[in-house]
Chains A and B, each alone.
Chain A
Amino acid sequence: MADGGRQQRVLIVEDEDNIAIALDYLMTREGYDHERIATGTGAVEKIRDSQPDLVLLDVMLPGVSGYEICQNIRSDAGLAGVKILMMTARGSAMEQRKGLALGADGFIAKPFDLKELREEVRRILDGRAAS
């Protein structure tokens, strides 16, 4: 969906292909410019290069964990504008606290309804647009 004339860009970091298919479909339908990578390795470099508006970040990733990626993004001043929405298969209250403490902007537990995810993505990006 266009925002101020510019198409918002989303990076999906997700190792499960089937979920990635659904996310890919959703992002296309919502009108976001999106890309997907399947491992944690090299994710931060990719983010530095592409400077997306939002990273849909899975916690359990081969290589580098989602928490580590999150911490690295937040410790890089050049990536201050990047929003992070973490997705986890466990989603305990403690994990959520950990994610938010590490600088994630949102947290969603799998399995989730696509509608739920869509609303969370909109909330984060609209908040960004407003600020």
Chain B
Amino acid sequence: MSLARLSLRIRVFLFFAALAAGNIIAVIAGLLFGYERMGDPSMRDAMIIGGTVASFAILGSLAGVWFLFDEHVAKPIERLAGFLRTRTHSEIDGEIEKDLARYLGDLAPAAQELTSRLNATRQALTEAVQRETSRLADEKERLEALLCDVPVGVLLCTADHQLAFYNGQAVDLLGSAHAPGLDRRVFDYLHQPPIAHAYERLLQTEDPDAASDLLCATLADGKVLAARMRLLSEGEDRHLVKRPGYVLTLRDVSNDMRSHAQRELLMDELFDRIRRPAAALQSLTGVLTADDGPVGPARDKVREAASLEARQLAGAIHTLFERHEQNRADWWPLAMIRASDLAEAVTARVEADGGQITCDPAPLMLRCEGFEMVALLGKLAGRLNERKDLRLEISEDGAGAMIALDWTGPMVPIAHLERWLDEPLDVGLDDVTGRRVLISHASELWPEKLADGRARLCLPLREARRETSRPAPVPRAVVYDFDLLGKAREAEFAQRPLEDLTYVVFDTETTGLLPTEGDEIVQIAAVRIVNGRRVHSEVFDTLVNPGRAIPAASTAVHGISDAMVTGAPDIADVGRRFHKFAEGAVLIAHNAPFDMEFLRRKEKLIGQNFENPVLDTVLLSAVVFGQSESHSLDSLTHRLGITIPEEARHTAIGDTVATADAFLKLLPALKAKGLMSFGDVVTEVRKHSRLIRDLNA
């Protein structure tokens, strides 16, 4: 053992001990040497006594010096070292004790200075990190808000085409029986070839700025979406990694395409239906007007043919025009806006120009281009500002609405009106006139005289509907987990770390406890856990029509009555959707054999097998807390400090969320026991399967 590894105090002690030993050896050697020289045996005892006394004196004085040295130098150095070490590794503040290093000169003050400096630096660093963290959090929130609001669907996918991010618009666009979910493949929602092809194409360009435009269709309803794909680059120099993820922005163009196709169709039909009678008429007229034309019955036949063709031509023009009129507003995508909002905007505009107007809007939603309509009405009101008590009234008018500006005084001459309509409107575009606005709304504007010395301008809108209460805001949240982008996929469940797996935690409510006696599922609820996080917006919660009466005793437990499930889909439908929801995930339930039994009995009806690996929180609780504890959901959640709100207890979704949260709290405990992978857990769980059956066996 090398000396350097011994503690300072022992080394000092050994040093003094060696010194003492050396001195004593020197005394003994000196005395021996003197005794030999003298050759007088009578001196031996005196020399031994002298030597012993000298040795003890040396031992005593060295022990004294050692003690003082140990007390005032070695010990303080060790304590000072301890002091420095604790302050290096933790954030303890405080002075060094005054007496600690009195004899070490400037060492203690220097150490003190060093630690205070260290603490100050550490504090500054913590503050900087906090500042930066909160700045990043703010930025993240702003980005989330932005991505919520952009009017296109945004998807972020991994190189394996798994969703790592999506916004609310994307949910609407992809719309299918099951909402998009993190870690699902984008091809569950969109047709694969165009996307896969665009991805390959972009990879080949090796250009991080390249984008690829493509058309793709949804699997659910064949909606055509225009999409733009861009690869995700990394770092400040924005280089591409070997297998980059990508962003897809989506826009629904099926309406545009449908309108375009409709229009083309109408044009084709128009020419077709006009050309034929026009040609016939030309020939027939030629025959009739010829100098040597037919006479008598021969002429009557030609005339009849001519008048038939003329009638058909006129009829074709009228019907085609009518269809054109009907489609016209569709080709111009107009939004629904609130009549009161329109009125307010007009008032603001009129007042800004120094005028006055009162408004009386009916509670209607109007199909119109709000900005242009306000500009037109503002312009008209401005031209009418000489008139007394100007009023804007918006009222129901058949299937549409009537926008009317009225005042006390005479009618506006049409000639003036025509002139006003030809003036450009203040909308920032030169060629937008009042007439253009009327045309795009397929509308007209005219003056009318009212009974009591008042007059008005009428502008009818073709489409309006009664205002309903504002719909509850659709949660437009963005959902994401960027860690998915950096995760390689492994096929085998058993080897995968627990936190890498996707879990679907679920619970069922039933008509009773005995599936063998004909009890059925009445509700399924499930949530997803991705990357160790419960994804709040990915929830499955559906009533199921059990096709039989629900006993009152069961209704008393879960509160689901016959009336509530009459309109609900049956287990075949719900089961299929649940199977899709749970695809690729580990199923988790509290007392899973119960729920799985109900599901597996229906596999044939559903047409799918539930082959997912299954974990049971009862067994996990036994692994973590030992078999002697109670493993009911109430006991488990209580032990883990999770509260189930009373109103949620025994609802499928309430119990599901509680089970999911319990599982998330059990995860670290499992890892602490050295159970890192799914396989480890299953092996451990089997030891407890006397408690209940393990379903992976």
Closest Cβ of chain B: how far from A64's Cβ, in Å? 7
Judge whether B320 is part of the interface by a CB distance below 8 angstroms.
Answer: no
B458: which A residues are within 8 A, CB to CB?
101
A94:B411 contact, CB within 8 angstroms: no
- Name the one of B314, B445, B447 contacting A111, with C-beta atoms under 8 angstroms: B314
- Name the one of B310, B313, B314, B446 contacting A67, with C-beta atoms under 8 angstroms: B446
B414: which A residues are within 8 A, CB to CB?
65, 67-68, 71, 102
> A67-B414, A68-B414, A113-B314 in contact; A98/B446 too (CB < 8 A)?
yes
B460: which A residues are within 8 A, CB to CB?
94, 97
Q: Interface digits, A69-112 against B, CB 8 Å rule (1 contact, 0 not)?
A: 00100010000000000000011111101100110000001011
Q: Interface digits, A48-77 against B, CB 8 Å rule (1 contact, 0 not)?
A: 000000000000000011011001000100
A102 to B418 alpha-carbon distance, docked (Å): 14
- Name the one of A65, A71, A94, A112 contacting B444, with C-beta atoms under 8 angstroms: A94
Write the chain B residue with the least CB distance to A116.
B314
B418:A92 contact, CB within 8 angstroms: no
A102 to B446 alpha-carbon distance, docked (Å): 8
Number of A-B contacts (CB under 8 A): 50
- Name the one of B311, B317, B415, B445 contacting A64, with C-beta atoms under 8 angstroms: B415
Judge whether B255 is part of the interface by a CB distance below 8 angstroms.
Answer: no
Write the chain B residue with the least CB distance to A68.
B414
A71:B318 contact, CB within 8 angstroms: no
Q: Interface digits, B439-468 against A, CB 8 Å rule (1 contact, 0 not)?
A: 000111111110000000010100000000
- Report which residue of A75, A90, A98, A113 has the largest number of chain B beta carbons within 10 angstroms of its beta carbon: A98
Write the chain B residue with the least CB distance to A64.
B415
Write the chain B residue with the least CB distance to A94.
B444
**Which size class do A's interface residues fall under?**
20 to 34
A96 to B418 alpha-carbon distance, docked (Å): 17
A122 to B262 alpha-carbon distance, docked (Å): 40
A95 to B442 alpha-carbon distance, docked (Å): 10
B443: which A residues are within 8 A, CB to CB?
94
B442:A94 contact, CB within 8 angstroms: yes
> A68-B414, A94-B443, A111-B314 in contact; A101/B321 too (CB < 8 A)?
no
Closest Cβ of chain B: how far from A47's Cβ, in Å? 16
B313:A92 contact, CB within 8 angstroms: no
A75 to B318 alpha-carbon distance, docked (Å): 32
A97: which B residues are within 8 A, CB to CB?
444, 446, 460
B314:A101 contact, CB within 8 angstroms: no
B314:A92 contact, CB within 8 angstroms: no
B318:A109 contact, CB within 8 angstroms: yes
B413:A71 contact, CB within 8 angstroms: yes
A68 to B413 alpha-carbon distance, docked (Å): 7
- Name the one of B313, B317, B318, B418 contacting A65, with C-beta atoms under 8 angstroms: B418
A92:B413 contact, CB within 8 angstroms: no
B442: which A residues are within 8 A, CB to CB?
92, 94
A68: which B residues are within 8 A, CB to CB?
413-415, 418
> A67-B414, A68-B415 in contact; A111/B313 too (CB < 8 A)?
yes
B313:A98 contact, CB within 8 angstroms: no
- Name the one of B318, B411, B444 contacting A95, with C-beta atoms under 8 angstroms: B444
B314:A93 contact, CB within 8 angstroms: no
B411:A75 contact, CB within 8 angstroms: yes
B317: which A residues are within 8 A, CB to CB?
111
A91: which B residues are within 8 A, CB to CB?
318, 321
Q: Interface digits, B675-688 against A, CB 8 Å rule (1 contact, 0 not)?
A: 00000000000000
Closest Cβ of chain A: how far from B359's Cβ, in Å? 22
Write the chain B residue with the least CB distance to A95.
B444
Judge whether B234 is part of the interface by a CB distance below 8 angstroms.
Answer: no
A93:B448 contact, CB within 8 angstroms: no
A101: which B residues are within 8 A, CB to CB?
446, 448, 458
Closest Cβ of chain A: how far from B614's Cβ, in Å? 65
A59 to B442 alpha-carbon distance, docked (Å): 18
A112 to B311 alpha-carbon distance, docked (Å): 8
A94 to B459 alpha-carbon distance, docked (Å): 10
Judge whether B213 is part of the interface by a CB distance below 8 angstroms.
Answer: no
B448: which A residues are within 8 A, CB to CB?
101-102
> A65-B414, A67-B414, A95-B444 in contact; A113/B311 too (CB < 8 A)?
yes
A112:B314 contact, CB within 8 angstroms: yes
Closest Cβ of chain A: how far from B677's Cβ, in Å? 72
Judge whether B426 is part of the interface by a CB distance below 8 angstroms.
Answer: no
Find residues 272-328 in chain B having any chain A CB closer than 8 Å to their own CB.
Answer: 310-311, 313-314, 317-318, 321, 325
A98:B321 contact, CB within 8 angstroms: no
A75 to B413 alpha-carbon distance, docked (Å): 10
Closest Cβ of chain B: how far from A13's Cβ, in Å? 15
A102: which B residues are within 8 A, CB to CB?
414, 446-448
A97 to B447 alpha-carbon distance, docked (Å): 12
A39 to B321 alpha-carbon distance, docked (Å): 27
A93:B325 contact, CB within 8 angstroms: yes
A91 to B460 alpha-carbon distance, docked (Å): 16
The 4 lowest CB-CB distance pairs between A and B, nearest first, are A68-B414, A111-B314, A94-B444, A98-B446
Instruction: Name B's A-contacting residues (CB within 8 A).
Output: 310-311, 313-314, 317-318, 321, 325, 411, 413-415, 418, 442-449, 458, 460
**9 intermolecular pairs with C-beta atoms under 8 Å apart:** A68-B413, A91-B318, A92-B444, A101-B446, A101-B458, A102-B447, A109-B318, A111-B317, A113-B314
Instruction: Name A's B-contacting residues (CB within 8 A).
Output: 64-65, 67-68, 71, 75, 90-95, 97-98, 101-102, 109, 111-113
Apart from A65-B418, A67-B414, A109-B318, list 12 A-B contacts with CB within 8 A: A68-B415, A71-B414, A75-B449, A90-B321, A92-B325, A93-B325, A94-B442, A94-B444, A97-B446, A102-B414, A112-B314, A113-B310
